[in-house]
């Protein structure tokens, strides 16, 4: 099953997170429909608004090489409960359709949901309707 592999890839990526301010390291791994995996980590900045989440880093890496269709994303952090993507990440991910979201923590707890269930009314651009 790909969920276990994605969690492991996200855990490994998490080690490279740049989180000197919050100390909250997050790793993500996104699976494309054609079976490739791209990882990401959160990258903090002294100007906190410029911080980028791990989920978006993984997605942007995949998009930057031409990927547009995704099957699943795993997110891992050192939390009590499995860590969900933030609202901004949910919205950005939704731009590329519905996907499975695998939320995990370092203790091995896992929760899986569809993106559409985590963000049921995502903002969508409709041509001609502004």
Examine the residue annotation and report whether 36 is marked as an active-site residue of this protein: no
- Chain-centre distance for alpha carbon 2: 15
* Helix H or strand E encompassing 4: helix 2-14
Which of the following is catalytic: 8, 36, 44, 55?
55
User: Measured at the alpha carbon of residue 122, what is the angle toward residues 116 and 127, in degrees to the nearest 5?
Assistant: 125
74 vs 29: CA distance, rounded Å: 5
Give yes or no for a contact between 93 and 55, defined as CB atoms under 8 angstroms apart: yes
Residues catalogued as catalytic: 55
């Amino acid at each position: 099953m790909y969920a276990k592999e994605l969690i492991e890839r996200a855990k490994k990526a998490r080690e490279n997170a740049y989180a000197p301010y919050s100390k909250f390291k997050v790793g993500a791994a996104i699976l494309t429909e054609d079976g490739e995996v791209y990882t990401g980590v959160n990258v903090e900045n002294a100007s906190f608004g410029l911080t980028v989440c791990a989920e978006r880093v993984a997605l942007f890496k995949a998009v930057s090489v031409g990927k547009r269709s995704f099957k699943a994303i795993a997110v891992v952090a050192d939390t009590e409960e499995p860590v969900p993507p933030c609202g901004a990440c949910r919205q950005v991910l939704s731009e590329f359709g519905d996907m499975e979201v695998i939320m995990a923590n370092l203790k091995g707890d896992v929760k899986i949901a569809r993106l559409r269930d985590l963000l049921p009314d995502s903002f969508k651009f409709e041509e001609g309707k502004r």
